[in-house]
């Protein structure tokens, strides 16, 4: 079975990727799964300057889900290039570097700096982190989304993925903006803005007040987003949200995603990603497919 997928200018050996912020810098996972088998690895989002991140609690469990407010804790781009990239480029799979900025210039300078490096297969623009102020507008306004993608594309030689937030009225409009700006693919979805409260203390449970929800509970929202965007926009989609087994993967492919990213499930089932790669051929065969592309967007009208 041919598992390779094409996302604009980006080719992956299989459609099972791991989502930014849920796989550390991949080094942490090296003793746990064979990271070279994974279709694409996204290290945790990096910013221009180091960020200490938010005060604890940073995560809280909710029904079939997790809230987080990590706050883009990272050591900054220079430390990433010096300490993490040399290792990452040796692990034997496509490295997609996730970047976040406050302004369009931030995104452009980060993406051009990272995009010039050897061993970077693509850049993912995190246009959607709910846990930092600023930066959010790119994910909620189709015109600024188009502009930032276009500016990055002009400055950066590698494929560009735009990761979008579901916290908008019409995600298809934003995705169209990304497509118009020249994105190779859109990644749907980042976390859903949410909250948990300790009523006895009359306080939010997360140190940062609100946070982003992930995990199985958001899968139906993510599938809806993928479906809406697939129906309206012509560039490839990477589906993200609550995936924890092969059925979930297939649902995203049928809905219109050409690849998927595994997120929160890496935390509670660390060996999941490579098991999914093992299970994918049989699931595709059930639909008489001979490639991943054969099933992408094959959803029938009910």
Ligand X SMILES: Cc1cc2nc3c(=O)[nH]c(=O)nc-3n(C[C@H](O)[C@H](O)[C@H](O)COP(=O)(O)O)c2cc1C
Q: Please name the residues in contact with 46: beta carbons below 8 A apart, sequence gap of 6 or more.
A: 74, 76, 77, 80, 97, 98, 99, 100, 110, 114
CA-wise closest residue to 257 among 280, 273, 240: 240
Nearest-angstrom CA–CA distance, 269 and 126: 25
268, interface contact from ligand FAD, other proteins, ligand X, none, CB < 5-8 Å by kind: other proteins
Has 70 been labeled as part of a binding site?
A: yes
What is the total count of residues that contact ligand FAD (CB under 6 A)?
A: 3
215: left (phi over 0), alpha (psi -120 to 50) or beta: left
Active site residue 129: yes
DSSP strands (E only) in 127-285 = 160-164, 185-188, 192-195, 197-198, 203-204, 210-214, 237-240, 259-262
**Residue 189 contacts residue 213 (beta carbons within 8 Å):** no
Selected from 5, 7, 17, 19, the binder of ligand X by CB under 6 A is: 19
Q: Does 140 bind ligand X (CB under 6 A)?
A: no
Q: Does 287 bind other proteins (CB under 8 A)?
A: no
Selected from 7, 18, 26, 60, the binder of ligand FAD by CB under 6 A is: 60
Q: Does 219 bind other proteins (CB under 8 A)?
A: no
41 or 149: whose CB is closer to other proteins?
41
258 or 289: whose CB is closer to ligand X?
258
| Interface positions with other proteins (CB under 8 A) | 21-24, 27-32, 44, 50, 52-53, 56-59, 61, 63-66, 68, 70, 73, 75, 79, 82-84, 215-216, 264, 266-271
From the annotation, which residues make up the binding site?
A: 20, 44-45, 68-72, 126, 163, 189-191, 215, 241-242, 263-264
Give the residue numbers marked as catalytic: 129
């Amino acid at each position: 079975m041919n598992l390779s997928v094409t996302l604009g200018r980006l080719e992956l050996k299989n459609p099972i990727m791991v989502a930014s912020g849920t796989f550390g810098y991949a080094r942490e996972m090296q003793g746990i799964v064979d990271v070279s088998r994974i279709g694409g690895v996204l290290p945790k989002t990096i910013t221009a300057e180091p960020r200490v991140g938010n005060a604890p609690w940073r995560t809280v469990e909710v029904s079939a889900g997790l809230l987080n407010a990590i706050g883009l804790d990272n050591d900054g781009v220079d430390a990433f290039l010096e300490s993490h990239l040399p290792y990452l480029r040796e692990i034997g799979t496509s490295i997609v570097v996730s970047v976040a900025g406050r302004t369009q210039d931030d995104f452009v300078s980060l993406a051009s700096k990272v995009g010039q490096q050897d061993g970077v297969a693509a850049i993912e623009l995190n246009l959607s982190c709910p846990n930092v102020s600023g930066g959010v507008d790119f994910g909620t306004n189709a015109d600024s989304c188009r502009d930032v993608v276009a500016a990055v594309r002009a400055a950066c030689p590698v494929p560009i993925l735009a990761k979008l937030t579901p916290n908008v009225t019409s995600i298809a409009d934003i995705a169209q903006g990304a497509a118009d700006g020249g994105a190779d693919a859109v990644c749907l979805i980042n976390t859903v803005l949410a909250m948990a409260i300790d009523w006895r203390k009359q306080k939010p449970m997360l140190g940062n007040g609100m946070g982003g929800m992930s995990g199985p509970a958001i899968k139906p929202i993510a599938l809806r987003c993928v479906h809406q965007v697939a129906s309206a926009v012509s560039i490839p989609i990477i589906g993200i949200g609550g995936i924890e087994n092969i059925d979930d993967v297939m649902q995203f492919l049928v809905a219109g995603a050409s690849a998927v990213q595994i997120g929160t499930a890496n935390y509670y089932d660390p060996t999941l990603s490579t098991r999914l790669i093992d299970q994918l051929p049989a699931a595709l065969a059930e639909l008489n497919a001979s490639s991943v592309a054969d099933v992408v967007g094959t959803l029938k009208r009910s």
